Amino acid sequence: MEILGILAFAVALLLSVMIHEFGHYLTAKRYGMRVSEFFLGFGKRLWSFTRGETEFGIKAIPAGGYCRIEGMTATDEMPPGEESRAFYRANSGQKLIVLGAGSFLHFVLGFIAVATLNNVVEINNALHAHIVLVSKLMLGAGLVALGSGVRWKAIRAIGPRPMAMGMIAWVIVAGVALAAVKITGL
């Protein structure tokens, strides 16, 4: 039973990572940015396929994932003729939306999990307490991902007002998290 719990945790973590990265992918594509890779895991490539300009796949170490958006900084090389599709060439609002989309999907995922499990599944009190804890962590993951600085290099490329814009984005995300906690009664 313990192994089943570990496997369920690993699958849930990878699903959460995949949804997070999919948020970056969707918004980057929506704004015309070039996304060259979308992988689950790190290390050696185990399996992949290409659809359009993006290579999708799975790598050997199932501890994360990434979505490679080309041109994160002005020094990144772009394929000839694709320079206008670089991340750094987008306007500040589009950059913030792309950077925050993955974190935002953590809130959505946490909210859906809490709403579904509280309203559909009949569970005992101990399991309910664990579900509430995990859901709070998922909601908080958006704040951690946004505030952790994992993409500060890209945020610095936004322009002359990155700190002010980052603070505004953080306040918006915190407001969404607080509203989700209030609505779900966590």
* Tens-digit pLDDT profile for residues 85-100: 999 999 988 998 998 8
Of 125, 123, 128, 140, residue with least CA distance to 180? 140
The alpha carbon of residue 29 and the mean position of all alpha carbons in its chain are separated, in whole angstroms, by: 15
Closest CA to 32 of 73, 80, 70, 75: 70
CB contact at 8 A, 38 and 62:
no
2 catalytic, yes or no?
A: no
Q: Taking 60 as the threshold, does the pLDDT of residue 34 lie above it?
A: yes
Q: Where do the DSSP E strands lie in the chain?
A: 35-51, 54-69
Percentage of the chain beyond pLDDT 90 is 28
How far, in Å, CA of 122 to CA of 124, rounded?
A: 7
**Whole-angstrom distance, CA of residue 24 vs CA of residue 30:** 10
Angle, helices 162-184/125-147, rounded to nearest 10 degrees = 170
Q: Using an 8 Å Cβ cutoff, are 135 and 184 in contact?
A: yes
Contact 24, 67 (CB under 8 A): yes
pTM of the model: 0.66
Whole-angstrom distance, CA of residue 158 vs CA of residue 154:
7
Give the span between the Cα atoms of 30 and 151, in whole angstroms: 20
- Over residues 48-70, mean pLDDT: 91
Token pair recorded at residue 46: 């185990």
Domain count, the chain: 1
Choosing from 2, 21, 77, 122, the catalytic residue is 21
- Per-residue pLDDT of 126-152, as tens digits, reads 555 655 555 555 555 554 554 444 444
Enclosing domain of residue 48: 2-184
Q: Average model confidence (pLDDT) for the chain?
A: 74
Distance of CA 159 to the CA centre of its chain: 22
pLDDT greater than 80 at residue 16: yes
